[in-house]
Amino acid sequence: MTWKTVEHYSLGYDIQLKQFYVYYELEGDGTAHQISASPEEFLGLSEMFRNEGPISFNVEGRYFVTRVPVQSATVGDSLL
């Protein structure tokens, strides 16, 4: 699996559309990616991004984790 570290992020809210957004940039990418989020998703993502770190992104599976898993770990394996 390919992991990249989230280098920068920002949180946004469009007042007119009443829509939450999460923007993130991955290491070596130089591109800002945008996620439109429900209020519940926004709360979860903002908590993760603000209070945990580092945040990593799985490029193949397209999901965030609060740290890069051990390379040999598979889904369901304990990382501790």
pLDDT tens digits, residue range 6-63? 999 999 999 999 999 999 999 998 899 999 999 999 999 999 999 988 999 999 999 9
For residue 1, pLDDT over 60 is answered with yes
Residue 13 tokens read as 């809210």
Q: How many Cβ atoms are within 10 Å of 30's Cβ, its own excluded?
A: 8
Measured between alpha carbons, how far is 52 from 62 in angstroms, rounded to an integer?
18
**Domain ranges for the chain:** 3-65
**Extended beta strands in 1-80, E state:** 3-14, 19-26, 33-37, 56-58, 63-65
Total-model pTM: 0.77
Stretch (H or E) spanning 39 = helix 39-51
| Residue of 69, 15, 10 lying closest to 42 (CA atoms) | 10
Q: How many Cβ atoms are within 10 Å of 45's Cβ, its own excluded?
A: 19
For residue 78, pLDDT over 90 is answered with no
